Amino acid sequence: KQWYQRRVRAAVKQFIPLFDRILVSRAVAAAKTKGGIMLPESSQKKLNEGVVVSCGPGAVDADGDVIPVSVSVGDKVLLPEYGGTKLNLDDEEYLLIRDSEILGKFVKVTSE
Protein backbone atom coordinates (compact mmCIF):
# COMPACT_ATOMS: atom_id res chain seq x y z
CA LYS A 1 0.00 0.00 0.00
CA GLN A 2 2.85 2.41 0.73
CA TRP A 3 4.38 2.05 -2.73
CA TYR A 4 0.97 2.89 -4.22
CA GLN A 5 0.65 5.99 -2.04
CA ARG A 6 4.13 7.16 -3.05
CA ARG A 7 3.29 6.63 -6.72
CA VAL A 8 0.03 8.58 -6.37
CA ARG A 9 1.83 11.46 -4.61
CA ALA A 10 4.39 11.58 -7.44
CA ALA A 11 1.63 11.69 -10.06
CA VAL A 12 -0.27 14.40 -8.18
CA LYS A 13 2.81 16.62 -8.15
CA GLN A 14 2.61 16.64 -11.94
CA PHE A 15 -1.01 17.81 -12.04
CA ILE A 16 -3.00 20.27 -9.90
CA PRO A 17 -6.74 20.66 -10.64
CA LEU A 18 -8.12 24.17 -11.09
CA PHE A 19 -11.38 25.70 -9.80
CA ASP A 20 -13.94 23.05 -8.77
CA ARG A 21 -12.21 20.14 -10.51
CA ILE A 22 -11.30 17.00 -8.56
CA LEU A 23 -8.77 14.30 -9.48
CA VAL A 24 -10.08 10.82 -8.61
CA SER A 25 -8.38 7.44 -8.69
CA ARG A 26 -11.09 5.02 -9.82
CA ALA A 27 -11.46 1.74 -7.89
CA VAL A 28 -10.33 -1.39 -9.72
CA ALA A 29 -12.75 -4.29 -10.18
CA ALA A 30 -11.80 -7.68 -8.76
CA ALA A 31 -10.04 -9.96 -11.23
CA LYS A 32 -11.07 -13.13 -9.34
CA THR A 33 -14.37 -14.47 -8.09
CA LYS A 34 -14.82 -15.63 -4.51
CA GLY A 35 -14.32 -19.17 -5.78
CA GLY A 36 -10.91 -18.27 -7.26
CA ILE A 37 -11.91 -18.16 -10.94
CA MET A 38 -9.98 -15.56 -12.96
CA LEU A 39 -12.23 -13.16 -14.88
CA PRO A 40 -11.29 -11.80 -18.31
CA GLU A 41 -11.15 -8.02 -18.67
CA SER A 42 -14.19 -8.03 -20.95
CA SER A 43 -16.42 -9.43 -18.21
CA GLN A 44 -15.20 -7.10 -15.45
CA LYS A 45 -17.56 -4.23 -14.88
CA LYS A 46 -16.38 -0.67 -14.32
CA LEU A 47 -16.83 0.39 -10.70
CA ASN A 48 -18.48 3.74 -10.02
CA GLU A 49 -16.44 4.60 -6.98
CA GLY A 50 -13.03 6.06 -6.37
CA VAL A 51 -10.74 7.93 -3.99
CA VAL A 52 -10.09 11.67 -4.19
CA VAL A 53 -6.41 12.25 -4.95
CA SER A 54 -6.34 16.03 -5.38
CA CYS A 55 -8.80 18.95 -5.27
CA GLY A 56 -8.91 22.40 -6.76
CA PRO A 57 -9.60 25.42 -4.52
CA GLY A 58 -13.26 25.70 -5.57
CA ALA A 59 -15.56 27.52 -7.96
CA VAL A 60 -15.79 31.31 -8.13
CA ASP A 61 -19.26 32.86 -7.91
CA ALA A 62 -20.48 36.10 -9.53
CA ASP A 63 -19.23 38.21 -6.59
CA GLY A 64 -15.73 36.74 -6.86
CA ASP A 65 -16.04 34.64 -3.71
CA VAL A 66 -14.57 31.12 -3.77
CA ILE A 67 -17.06 28.31 -3.06
CA PRO A 68 -14.94 25.44 -1.62
CA VAL A 69 -15.30 21.90 -2.94
CA SER A 70 -17.40 19.47 -0.89
CA VAL A 71 -14.82 16.67 -0.68
CA SER A 72 -11.24 16.45 0.53
CA VAL A 73 -8.22 14.32 -0.35
CA GLY A 74 -8.69 10.69 0.72
CA ASP A 75 -12.52 10.71 0.60
CA LYS A 76 -14.18 7.72 -1.06
CA VAL A 77 -16.79 9.00 -3.54
CA LEU A 78 -19.54 7.68 -5.82
CA LEU A 79 -19.03 8.67 -9.46
CA PRO A 80 -21.47 8.90 -12.36
CA GLU A 81 -21.27 6.11 -14.92
CA TYR A 82 -20.30 8.54 -17.68
CA GLY A 83 -18.60 11.90 -17.49
CA GLY A 84 -15.32 13.43 -16.46
CA THR A 85 -12.05 13.43 -18.33
CA LYS A 86 -9.74 10.41 -18.31
CA LEU A 87 -6.17 11.31 -17.51
CA ASN A 88 -3.07 9.08 -17.57
CA LEU A 89 -0.26 10.07 -15.18
CA ASP A 90 2.70 7.70 -14.65
CA ASP A 91 0.81 4.79 -16.27
CA GLU A 92 -2.09 5.18 -13.81
CA GLU A 93 -5.55 6.18 -15.01
CA TYR A 94 -7.31 9.01 -13.17
CA LEU A 95 -10.59 10.79 -13.68
CA LEU A 96 -10.86 14.59 -13.63
CA ILE A 97 -14.39 15.54 -12.62
CA ARG A 98 -16.29 18.60 -11.40
CA ASP A 99 -17.37 18.77 -7.77
CA SER A 100 -21.03 19.08 -8.80
CA GLU A 101 -20.83 15.81 -10.81
CA ILE A 102 -19.91 13.69 -7.77
CA LEU A 103 -23.00 11.75 -6.69
CA GLY A 104 -22.08 11.14 -3.06
CA LYS A 105 -19.41 10.52 -0.46
CA PHE A 106 -18.96 7.30 1.53
CA VAL A 107 -18.49 7.79 5.28
CA LYS A 108 -17.59 5.35 8.02
CA VAL A 109 -20.45 4.84 10.45
CA THR A 110 -19.34 4.22 14.00
CA SER A 111 -21.61 2.16 16.19
CA GLU A 112 -22.36 3.58 19.60
Q: What is the pLDDT of residues 25-56, one digit of tens each?
A: 887 666 666 677 766 666 556 678 888 988 88
Q: Where are the alpha helices (DSSP H) in the chain?
A: 2-14
Q: What is the DSSP secondary structure assignment for residue 39, as one 8-state letter?
A: P
Distance (Å, rounded) from C-alpha 102 to C-alpha 112? 29
pLDDT at 97: 92
Residues 78-112 have pLDDT tens digits of 988 888 888 887 777 888 899 889 888 988 887 76
